Amino acid sequence: MNQESFTTSQLGLPILEVKNLTRRFGGLVAVNDVSFTITQFEIFGLIGPNGAGKTTLFNLMTGFITPSSGQLLYHGADFSQLHPHQIASLGIGRTFQNIRLFAELSALENVRIARDCRIKTNTFKGIFGLPPAPREEQKSKQKALELLELVGLGERLDEKAKNFSYGDQRRLEIARALALEPQILLLDEPAAGMNPNEKQQLSKFIRNLRDKFHLTIILIEHHVPLVMGLCDRIAVLDFGQLIALGEPSVVRSNQAVIEAYLGND
């Protein structure tokens, strides 16, 4: 196990269950009868070759698409038919493989929009479309500033998102997802576009996020050393099917995984 501040006994309560989940696109079965359970505070990796169904699984978990069959349970309740904003307000936040920031808005504005959405969906005033009280406004700004500081962008609040490097845009997306105060954070290829130095720091950063916010983290990642060093457990997909699930050392030596994805190196 790869956690410093969480003990094995603290891991264990199911937070997200994937039950016989299938998604078809016409004749193609992108996710094929996949089942597994993710426990609270786990860092859970999803790996597999291109086109294996990883992003489709993320899109199912966040309501961007609905399952053809099967169930998704969050704290035991089926959420597979909910819309993305409903799932976000339940406490499941995400970043995207192809970064989706508001390019023309500043870093601060990008985070504040997410923060304000959370307030709108969770407060009486928000529900009735009233503007937030000045104190809430101030609190919201303060929280956004803290998150930007946390991801290392505290000095660049007013810069437009489009002017950030790839790695910094990924960090900004994480700050934006955290503004929704999720319990589960889904990261779609967080290391993509990062330089070797940034990649090295990413493991520590993700583990710190889990510890600080008591998060459960699910990540898709092609950078195998990062996944193996960071994740508590790893699920391997191939042609939509779950071919292996377990701790990194177990997955690494699984023959089917070596053949489908890792190779013999």
Ligand X SMILES: Nc1ncnc2c1ncn2[C@@H]1O[C@H](COP(=O)(O)OP(=O)(O)OP(=O)(O)O)[C@@H](O)[C@H]1O
Least Cβ distance, residue 55 to ligand X (angstroms): 3
Q: Which is nearer to ligand X, 2 or 241 (CB)?
A: 241
Nearer to ligand X, 31 or 151 (CB): 31
Q: Shortest Cβ distance from residue 59 to ligand X (Å)?
A: 7
CB of 262 to ligand X, least distance (A): 14
Residue among 51 and 126 whose Cβ is closer to ligand X: 51
- C-beta of residue 213 within 8 angstroms of C-beta of residue 40: no
Distance separating alpha carbons of residues 152 and 68, to the nearest angstrom = 40
Contact 125, 132 (CB under 8 A): yes
Strand partners, 160: 106
Query: Least separation, in Å, of the C-beta of 148 and ligand X?
Result: 28
Give how far Cα 263 sits from Cα of 13, 241, 246, 247, 251, Å.
34, 18, 18, 18, 12
Radius of gyration of the chain (CA): 19
Sign of the four-CA dihedral 174, 169, 220, 205:
negative
Q: State which residue, 145 or 258, has the beta carbon closest to ligand X.
A: 258
**Measured from the CB atom, is 53 or 63 closer to ligand X?**
53
- Least distance from C-beta 51 to ligand X, angstroms? 4
Binding site for ligand X (CB under 6 A): 25, 28, 30, 48, 50-56, 97
